[in-house]
Amino acid sequence: MRRLMQGNEAVFRGALAAGASYYAGYPISPSTEILNVASGWAAEHPEFGFLQAEDEIASANAVIGASLAGAKAFTATSGPGFSLMQEAVGYAQKVGVPSVFVNVQRVGPATGMPTMPGQGDIMQVRYGSTGDYTPLAFYPNSVAEAFSTTVLAFNAAEESRSPVVLLSDTFVGHLNEVVDPEELAAAATVAPRELAPLGRHEFGSPRFFAGVLMYEHGPNAGEPATADADEYLRQYYAAKHRHLEVANRYALYQHGWNVDAQTLVICYGIVSRVAAPLAPDYALFRPIRIHPMLGDELRAIAERYEHIVAIEANDGQYADMAELTLRREVKRVPLLGGRISMEALRAGLDRVLGGGPAEPPIPLAPTEAVERSPLGIG
Amino acid sequence: MAETALAELNYKSKLKLALFPTIWCPGCGIGTIMMQLAMVLDEMAMDETNTIIVSGIGCTGRMGSYMQFESVYTLHGRTLPVAEAIKTVRPEMNVIVVAGDGDTASIGGNHLVHSIRRNVPVTVLCNNNEIYGLTGGQTGPTTPTGTKTLSSPSGNPNTPINLQGIVRSSPHALYAKSTVYHQTHLRNAIREAIEHPGFSFVDITSQCIENNGRRIGFANANEMLTYYRKGYKRAPKDADTLGPMEIGVLRPEAERVGNGAARPLVVEAAPAVETPRPKAAPVDDEEKARKRAESQQKLALMQKLSPETKVRVAKGEISLADALLEAGVEEGPA
């Protein structure tokens, strides 16, 4: 039945459709509705595991434990919480724990602007934990897409045996749109769990899931490999190739608006919705799979356009990646401080296409007390 | 006789002997904890299908890798959230956490406090050696005031953390204190903790001779064990707190008062998904006494062997009976 649904709730419903049976989280704006909905669901469905943890570190590690125990597990947070989860994300990368981490972004760094939308965690997803790894991340821009992309994130997590990040933002999370959840759920294909749960290993000796480098097979199985670069290479590239192969199955993006225009606008998440009035005059490239970078896809599209402009609610994080990929200039329109408005967007576009700088004119400091924000400090 | 002695070696089946010798320094106390845990798990018919070991970072964390159980070697300090989630998803499994004092009470202190608050039904074995051993000997949360360590060269200025007080802040949690010298007491404490349906914590004083003991004046591990033997006393049976040099088991108030009254369970068993939670095979007191006697006898026999032969027996390369014959040792009265 068609009904109004909020973006954050759609993430939870999508997770259920994907087979999720465990949620751990800690309240943080603007992701809290996911925690609320999960707790309500768990109260009515005792088979669904739920934990309101003492912090995001515990949430992330509980997701790891639940997943190894056999549940499809996820957590949701915002930037500051995601920072706290980074060590666990690295552990899940190293050990190969299928899991989903939802990051409903707000304006950082630190506590920042808790109720305002931002996209400042694109690079945190890519490089936030220690060491090298190949993360997969998706970013929807509507309620229906939040549902279906969550299903994909769970599937990609199972197939790649890795922590997959689902990005969102204050506005996508708080959008209310009419969707048909039954239809969306019926359309979902669900990847099965292949990793045998704890206590159910199928052959050999009992497994030892470790964040430290260990020999997993062969004559040295069970011994530490902490000084063996060869073993590091074997395990590192096995994981990298596995993740890239799975990522190739989900090379999701949108190339649209006026595809014959001279300028290609790159934007994603809520910015791509706000930018819709640009449709008559600009072409759109909207990556849905944010990581790994859609290299071949973007290269093939970009060569048709004279200018490329990335409009993001950060200081050019995707633009940096696009520039490296394309090896040509990508102009930047940063929409900072939560001001994702058509006015700011148009002004920025005109500025950079007219040869001006990415940096907007800095407003003068107020001489009088500003009116208190109706949104409070969250 | 030889067969009975061999039966007592059953707990070795809970260990991955192929990975021995362990990485632990000679004289380390962790091996004793692992042996006693293995004995309890053997006694309780626990195996890899019904028991999960979760371990933290530090010397103690490696225990999971030497045991014939599926094991998660977590990030530093994060044993409890991982263990809690495993228990939630698979309530039929026994989840045992092994970690050091640094992992449990310092970096993992917040999780400890809240796992106790939520009465998470897992058992924590805390190897309390009062030092960060793996990194060479820095002050830990349980290091006594005044102790000189690599990071407190003029003596630890702080008061050690009160683990008993933290665990006992919950009316549902079981707190046990033992030492690696008091092996029978330790074994019984571990067993009681595992049988406790809510959160249970075994605080095990053990020696780190290499990175602590020597620096504070002990010549060898034996001196530290002797110190434990002479220093620690059993608390009275009805004690409701343990003094700093007392060992004992402090049961939750509800259990002590109710004497067998229904114990509160926090996690209700989920609709049967897998096998039911395994209960230990019932062991009556007579059987316990017999097993204990056999165990002591076997230990006495093992003491007559050279260290090299002991290792061979432990690894199963040679039977105890053959080893005794080879060494020309009388088996003594059965």
Cβ(B199)–Cβ(B250) under 8 Å? no
Asked if B72 is an interface residue toward chain A (Cβ–Cβ < 8 A), one would say yes
Number of C-beta neighbours around residue A47 at 10 A: 12
Enumerate residues 6+ apart whose C-beta is below 8 A from B151. B138, B139
Mean pLDDT, chain B, whole residue set: 87
Q: Is the pLDDT of residue B203 over 50?
A: yes
Q: Which domains does chain B have, with CATH numbers?
A: 26-258 (3.40.50.970), 285-327 (no CATH)
Asked if A42 is an interface residue toward chain B (Cβ–Cβ < 8 A), one would say no
- Is the Cβ pair A208, B65 closer than 8 Å? yes
Give the nearest partner residue to B83 out of A21, A65, A199, using CB atoms: A65
Closest alpha carbon to A120 in A108, A135, A110, A129: A108
Number of C-beta neighbours around residue A19 at 10 A: 17
pLDDT in tens, A278-291: 999 999 999 999 99
Closest alpha carbon to A256 in A231, A227, A237, A278: A278
The CA distance from A294 to A254, in Å, is 11
Contacts of A207 in chain B (CB under 8 A): 70-71
Asked if A38 is an interface residue toward chain B (Cβ–Cβ < 8 A), one would say no
- Is the Cβ pair B68, A206 closer than 8 Å? yes
Q: At what angle do helices A79-95 and A56-68 cross, to 10 degrees?
A: 30
Q: Which residue has tokens 């060992």?
A: B247
Q: In chain A, whose CA is at the least distance from the CA of B93?
A: A199
Burial of B18 (0-12, 13-18, 19+ CB in 10 A): exposed
- Which tokens is B307 given? 């260290």
Segment (H or E) for B16 = none
Asked if B86 is an interface residue toward chain A (Cβ–Cβ < 8 A), one would say yes
Alpha helices in B52-204 (DSSP H): 79-89, 101, 109-117, 163-167, 183-195
Residue B280 binned pLDDT confidence (cut-offs 50, 70, 90): low
Give the nearest partner residue to A199 out of B52, B83, B113, using CB atoms: B52
Higher pLDDT, A378 or B308: B308
Number of C-beta neighbours around residue B244 at 10 A: 10
Q: Is the pLDDT of residue B261 over 90?
A: no
Closest chain B C-alpha to A83 CA, distance in angstroms: 16
Q: What's the whole-number mean pLDDT along residues A163-189?
A: 97
- Is the Cβ pair A199, B93 closer than 8 Å? yes
Closest chain A C-alpha to B268 CA, distance in angstroms: 9
Largest Cα separation within chain A, whole Å, is 74
Give the nearest partner residue to A223 out of B19, B51, B270, using CB atoms: B19
Contacts of A39 in chain B (CB under 8 A): none
- Is the Cβ pair B69, A57 closer than 8 Å? no
pLDDT in tens, A146-175: 999 999 999 999 999 999 999 999 999 999
DSSP 3-state of A218: helix
pLDDT in tens, A205-245: 899 999 999 998 889 988 999 999 999 999 999 999 999 99
pLDDT in tens, B71-124: 999 999 999 999 999 999 999 999 999 999 999 999 999 999 999 999 999 999
E strands, chain A, in order: 3-6, 20-25, 49-52, 72-77, 99-107, 113-117, 137-138, 163-169, 176-179, 208-210, 253-257, 263-266, 283-287, 289-291, 307-312, 331-334
Residue B212 binned pLDDT confidence (cut-offs 50, 70, 90): very high
The CA distance from A146 to A175, in Å, is 10
CB pairs under 8 A between A and B: 131
Q: Which of A110-119, A155-164, B315-324 has the lowest mean pLDDT?
A: B315-324
Contacts of A62 in chain B (CB under 8 A): 81-82, 84-85
Segment (H or E) for B47 = none
Higher pLDDT, B50 or B1: B50
Give the nearest partner residue to B88 out of A51, A198, A209, using CB atoms: A51
Contacts of A84 in chain B (CB under 8 A): none
Reduced to 3 DSSP states, what percent helix, strand and coil does chain B have, rounded to the nearest 5? 45, 15, 45
Q: Which of B78, B93, B120 to mutate to test the interface with A (most CBs of A within 10 A)?
A: B78
Secondary structure (DSSP) of B218-231: -SSHHHHHHHHHHH
Q: In chain A, whose CA is at the least distance from the CA of B56?
A: A210
Q: Is the pLDDT of residue B265 over 70?
A: no
Segment (H or E) for A370 = none
Compute the residue count for chain B: 334
Closest chain A C-alpha to B59 CA, distance in angstroms: 13
Contacts of B86 in chain A (CB under 8 A): 65-66, 68-69, 198
pLDDT in tens, A31-72: 999 999 999 999 999 999 999 999 999 999 999 999 999 999
Cβ(A169)–Cβ(A175) under 8 Å? no
Cβ(B40)–Cβ(B71) under 8 Å? no
Contacts of A224 in chain B (CB under 8 A): 23
Asked if B225 is an interface residue toward chain A (Cβ–Cβ < 8 A), one would say no
The fraction of chain B above a pLDDT of 70, given in percent, is 86
Asked if B48 is an interface residue toward chain A (Cβ–Cβ < 8 A), one would say yes
Number of C-beta neighbours around residue A267 at 10 A: 28
The CA distance from A324 to A328, in Å, is 8
- Is the Cβ pair B52, A198 closer than 8 Å? yes
Burial of A164 (0-12, 13-18, 19+ CB in 10 A): buried
Q: Which domains does chain A have, with CATH numbers?
A: 3-187 (3.40.50.970), 253-353 (3.40.50.920)
- Is the Cβ pair B48, A59 closer than 8 Å? no
The DSSP letter of residue B212 is I
Phi, psi of A5 (to 5 degrees): -140, 145
Radius of gyration of chain B (CA): 20
Q: Which of A107-116, A129-138, A201-210, B155-164 has the lowest mean pLDDT?
A: A201-210
- Is the Cβ pair B81, A24 closer than 8 Å? yes
Residue B333 pLDDT? 46
ipTM: 0.96
- Is the Cβ pair A69, B74 closer than 8 Å? no
Sequence letter at residue A239 = A
